[in-house]
């Protein structure tokens, strides 16, 4: 046997073994196909579709989802809240507060039509303060017009009496009461009528006269003021001294120390012409003026002074029973003698 034959036999042997293995594989495959369940075309398409579909990645829960029970919704941003609401299938519109309410399960129920109507009515109803303000404005009284005043003045007049008034000034008395009142107002504007009667004028004049009389009483002549000032007392010493002077002068007149002629001479030389001395005065009046003369010559210390002597009454410089006068506030003169007063 040659080498070629040996090789050929070996290859045939190998080929036979390969065929045996192939046949065994075919037999095994047939058995598997016999055991495989029948699949319909519809199921085959579905399986094929599932095989072609991309594999979805299983989404891992976020930190928010993992700690859902302890979420601080207030700390989340508006977009984070919206995303969380969408993930939970909750309405993600509205304000941040609305979304938080939905996520918390505390969303207020949608108001019914009746509830909306009640809210609308409440919004339209004025508050207590608004009502009070309105009432205050209504209480404000507009300014009275001349027509209002005329209507009030003629309230007790009959239509006939008002018509007679119009006739008296040459105005037609036709028309109803309001028309007559309008004509009266027109007559007043033209100066044809005036409702200021004599009684009202007298009442208006009296208040004007009264203050004038009071003014006269409050502002007597300067000489009268001077006499009152010189007879007033700032010190208790002078007050007591004036009472003693009064009694002394009365005693002097009683015991005849002064004759009527001497009294006239003393009073005439003491009183200024404006002070009202007259020789024709009664003896009682002359006695009062003589007492006043000596009282006015008494100073704050209770001492009596002669004529032409300077002294003080109520801290004011005096001479001859009168206040000293000055034009510049530096040099003073006696009103009786006209001489310059030299202070002691």
Tens-of-pLDDT digits for all 344 residues of the chain?
555 677 777 777 777 777 777 766 666 665 555 555 555 555 666 656 665 555 554 444 444 444 445 678 888 888 888 888 888 888 888 788 888 888 887 654 455 555 555 555 555 555 555 545 555 555 556 677 888 888 888 888 898 888 888 888 888 888 888 888 899 888 888 888 876 544 444 444 444 554 444 443 343 344 458 888 899 888 899 999 999 999 998 888 888 888 889 899 989 889 888 888 888 999 899 999 999 999 999 999 999 998 889 999 998 999 999 999 888 888 899 988 888 888 76
29 in a structural domain: no
9 in a structural domain: no
Statement to judge: residues 183 and 247 lie in one domain: no
Alpha helices in the chain (DSSP H): 3-35, 41-52, 63-66, 78-87, 96-103, 113-124, 128-139, 146-153, 159-168, 177-189, 198-218, 222-231, 236-254, 260-270, 283-296
240 in a structural domain: yes
Two tokens, residue 248: 């002394």
Residue 67 has a pLDDT of 44
Statement to judge: residues 240 and 292 lie in one domain: yes
Q: Which residues, 6+ apart, have CB-to-CB distance to 337 below 8 Å?
A: 307, 308, 319, 320
Closest CA to 305 of 238, 259, 255, 251: 238
Residue 48 has a pLDDT of 63
Statement to judge: residues 178 and 232 lie in one domain: no
Residue 295 has a pLDDT of 93
165 in a structural domain: yes
Statement to judge: residues 185 and 252 lie in one domain: no
State the residue range of the domain holding 276: 222-303
Statement to judge: residues 231 and 299 lie in one domain: yes
320 in a structural domain: no
Residue 104 has a pLDDT of 83
Of 69, 88, 104, the residue at which a domain comes to its end is: 104
Of 139, 170, 189, the residue at which a domain comes to its end is: 189
What residues does 325 pair with on adjacent strands? 333
Residue 31 has a pLDDT of 59
Residue 282 has a pLDDT of 92
∠ Cα 139 145 150 (to 5°): 115
Residue 171 has a pLDDT of 87
144 in a structural domain: no
271 in a structural domain: yes
Statement to judge: residues 228 and 298 lie in one domain: yes
Statement to judge: residues 226 and 296 lie in one domain: yes
Two tokens, residue 206: 């009296």
276 in a structural domain: yes
Residue 344 has a pLDDT of 62
Domain count, the chain: 3
Statement to judge: residues 227 and 298 lie in one domain: yes
Residue 200 has a pLDDT of 46
CA neighbours within 13 Å on the CB side: how many for 6?
Answer: 3
Statement to judge: residues 254 and 297 lie in one domain: yes
């Amino acid at each position: 046997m040659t080498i070629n034959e040996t090789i050929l036999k070996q290859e045939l042997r190998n080929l036979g073994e390969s065929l045996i293995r192939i046949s065994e594989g075919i037999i095994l495959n047939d058995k598997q196909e016999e055991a495989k369940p029948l699949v319909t075309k519809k199921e085959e398409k579905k399986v094929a579709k599932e095989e072609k579909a991309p594999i979805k990645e299983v989404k891992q829960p976020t930190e928010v989802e993992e700690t859902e029970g302890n979420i601080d919704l207030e700390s989340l941003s508006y977009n984070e809240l919206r995303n969380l609401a969408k993930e939970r299938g909750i309405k993600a519109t509205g304000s941040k507060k609305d979304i938080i309410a939905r996520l918390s399960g505390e969303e207020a129920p949608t108001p019914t039509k009746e509830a909306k109507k009640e809210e609308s009515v409440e919004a339209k109803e004025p508050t207590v303060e608004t009502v009070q303000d309105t009432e205050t404005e209504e209480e404000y009284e507009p300014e009275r017009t001349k027509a209002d005043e005329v209507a009030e003045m003629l309230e007790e007049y009959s239509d006939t009496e008002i018509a007679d008034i119009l006739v008296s000034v040459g105005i037609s008395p036709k028309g109803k009461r309001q028309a007559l009142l309008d004509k009266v107002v027109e007559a007043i504007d033209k100066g044809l009528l005036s409702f200021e009667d004599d009684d009202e004028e007298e009442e208006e004049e009296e208040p004007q006269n009264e203050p004038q009389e009071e003014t006269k009483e409050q502002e007597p002549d300067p000489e009268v003021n001077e006499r009152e000032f010189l007879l007033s007392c700032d010190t208790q010493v002078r007050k007591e001294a004036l009472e003693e002077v009064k009694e002394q002068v009365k005693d002097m007149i009683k015991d005849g120390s002064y004759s009527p002629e001497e009294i006239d001479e003393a009073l005439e030389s003491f009183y200024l012409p404006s002070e009202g001395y007259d020789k024709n005065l009664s003896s009682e009046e002359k006695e009062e003026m003589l007492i006043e003369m000596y009282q006015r010559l008494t100073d704050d210390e209770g001492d009596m002074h002669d004529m032409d002597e300077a002294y003080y009454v109520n801290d004011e410089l005096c001479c001859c029973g009168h206040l000293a006068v000055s034009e510049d506030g530096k040099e003073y003169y006696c009103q009786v003698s006209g001489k310059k007063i030299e202070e002691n």
